[in-house]
Structure 1
Amino acid sequence: MAGHAAVERDVLVRYLDAWTAKALRSQRGGTYVECGGFAADALRVFGEFADRLDGHHLELVIVGSAAPSGVPEGLSVRVVADVAELALSGPVLTHLDGPGAWPLVAPMARGKGREVVVTAPAGDHRVSRGCAVELVAEDGEARLLMFLTPDEKHLATFKSELWAVDEFAGIRYRDPHDPERTLVDISLTPQLLPLRRALSAELGRRGRCPVAELQRFTLLETIYRPEDAIGALGSAIAAGEITRDPEKGRLTPRTVVGLP
């Protein structure tokens, strides 16, 4: 479980760092709601922005536990017993943890600027949309990490942070939608075979289409980043599994691809 928690923490901290930087550039600010055990980690992230907090609306809400020490000046902190008590406005990023997270996903994700990170036991995947990835240990124990957002740019940012985390011993990623259930090492240059299969299957459903459409499919429907689609398609083209028009030149979003 230690390895799972380390990866979950690293992904959450990396995305929270990017989210906070954006919140501090906006007049609307933002609220981070922590319903798991990462409040101290969140405070360390906010502490890195201590010189910019004054005059901005940035709030940390901790659900079900006491506030840790080390609150940076300029950060508002609230402690509540139940997330249902919250009345929130503006952009909100929420971390929900455990099997009890699922009934809270819909209400916390509802509204403009609302984003949710869920960490829960694998096999309990109850939300069809969003980026979901299983964290699988060497002994086969798996945890689910899910991110929901209405903003595709934020989803792309989350995917970038997902693949940029440190490679923790024994933890690999698996796409819950991959019928082959392939385990993939955490890397900035990940194995693309599961994506290659998914893109070929999508082309079978769509017929010929621009690469840009498959990049968007990659963003919305897989654990991979849009740029990974270029590498996966390039390999499939070289193997004769996919055709392209024009036949030569650099593969770009405008290139049209299809099955032979």
Structure 2
Amino acid sequence: MSIRAVTRELLVRCVDTWAPGNLHAAHGAAFLYASARGIDDEAAEAAVRAFGEFGDRLRGRLTLLFVAPGAEGLRGRLAEVQREIGTPAEMAVHVVPGGNVDAVLKAAGAASGPLLAMVDDSIVKSFKAAVVLLTAPAGTWAEQRRELHAAGLELTAGVELVEGDEEMLVGFGTRSDKRLEVFKGELWALDEYAGVRYRDPRDPEGHLMDISLEPNPGALRREILQRLGGGGLTVTELKRFALTDTVYRAADAQKVIAALLHSGAVRRSPEGGRLGGDVMISLAAAASGG
């Protein structure tokens, strides 16, 4: 399997988790796949098929927009998919060969309802959306994260996909804690793809990790220790850090904190009792150089 296959699977899982709560919107809902470089036709087809699974749940209009230079050839392929799966009349699919994304959304009447978007790094700054799946060159997460924040998406996650010499960043932005948690769960729940591994963009050592429900905690351990170098934090704050600043889930942080305590790398206050959210964690004297 390839990096593109992993990205398509993430897209489908985003559709599967986003659609049920948004297809009943009074003003309709929309999906946007926009790129300044060109659309992955297989990803576009996968999106249409994924939304088609929810055709019987539509309570209003659903608009799917595919915007990219040279996208004209995609029209016939997606029309054939619609005929094959029997999409309802309320589900409209439009292919637009380039243009201003915000203007396209308004022209399609898709600017006011819930919007799920998949874009590349050259597009994200040009419109507002509630949930964004972003693709960009590896090594650019700091820049892409700033762009997502500037677009009003304060909760973000980024992961680099690595297959041999090929690398790509996948970013995610939302305003919902719950949706970020769901994305992180789906990220690690993917079937293992031969040859494709994850890398946390903020891991100081840049180690590669297999895709697994139980990810290797090494990178998170290093990032938590680095974070604690600035002073002690509560368990809740460290779990939040894992969720919003690393590729890991909040639950992974709980396990790493327990392991760090067991190894003596960190200390806790109070010293006894349950490892609850208000327990303060700080570097042990030896680890902090004291």
**Fold shared, TM-score > 0.5 on shorter chain:** yes
Superposed displacement of residue 14, structure 1? 0.6
Q: CA RMSD in A?
A: 1.9
C-alpha change, 1:201 and 1:28, in structure 2 (3 Å) is: farther
Q: Please list the CA deviations of residues 81-118 of structure 1 after superposition, one character each: whole Å capped at 9, or x if unmatched.
A: 2251412222211112xxxx32311123x3xx522212
Q: Which residue pairs with 2:151 in the alignment? A: none
Superposed displacement of residue 12, structure 1? 1.1
List aligned pairs for 1:129-208, cutoff 5 A. Answer: 129=146, 130-137=156-163, 139-205=164-230, 207-208=231-232
Superposed displacement of residue 119, structure 1? 2.0
Q: Which has the larger radius of gyration?
A: 2
Gaps of 5+ in 1: none
Say whether the 8 Å CA contact 1:23–1:58 is kept in structure 2: no
Residue 132 of structure 1: SS of its match in structure 2?
Answer: strand
Say whether the 8 Å CA contact 1:40–1:68 is kept in structure 2: no
Gaps of 5+ in 2: 147-155, 285-290
AA partner of residue 159 (structure 2): V
Residue 103 of structure 1: SS of its match in structure 2?
Answer: coil
Say whether the 8 Å CA contact 1:173–1:186 is kept in structure 2: yes
Residue 224 of structure 1: SS of its match in structure 2?
Answer: coil
Looking at structure 1, the residues matched to 266 and 199 of structure 2 have their Cα atoms a distance apart, in angstroms, of 24
Q: Quick one: percent identity of the two aligned structures?
A: 39
Say whether the 8 Å CA contact 2:3–2:168 is kept in structure 1: yes
1:220 aligns with 2:244: yes
Say whether the 8 Å CA contact 2:236–2:278 is kept in structure 1: yes
Structure richer in helix, relative to its length? 2
1:24 aligns with 2:23: yes
Looking at structure 2, the residues matched to 18 and 92 of structure 1 have their Cα atoms a distance apart, in angstroms, of 13
AA partner of residue 161 (structure 2): L
Q: Please list the CA deviations of residues 195-230 of structure 1 after superposition, one character each: whole Å capped at 9, or x if unmatched.
A: 11111111221x222211111111111111111110
Q: Which residue pairs with 1:256 in the alignment? A: 280
AA partner of residue 114 (structure 2): P
Say whether the 8 Å CA contact 2:27–2:112 is kept in structure 1: no
Looking at structure 1, the residues matched to 18 and 99 of structure 2 have their Cα atoms a distance apart, in angstroms, of 21
Looking at structure 1, the residues matched to 140 and 233 of structure 2 have their Cα atoms a distance apart, in angstroms, of 34
Looking at structure 2, the residues matched to 40 and 105 of structure 1 have their Cα atoms a distance apart, in angstroms, of 22
Say whether the 8 Å CA contact 1:39–1:68 is kept in structure 2: no
Q: Which residue pairs with 1:40 in the alignment? A: 45
C-alpha change, 1:28 and 1:163, in structure 2 (3 Å) is: farther
Q: Which residue pairs with 1:75 in the alignment? A: 91
Say whether the 8 Å CA contact 2:199–2:209 is kept in structure 1: yes
Matched residues, number: 249
Q: Please list the CA deviations of residues 52-92 of structure 1 after superposition, one character each: whole Å capped at 9, or x if unmatched.
A: 12x32322112233134233103122222225141222221
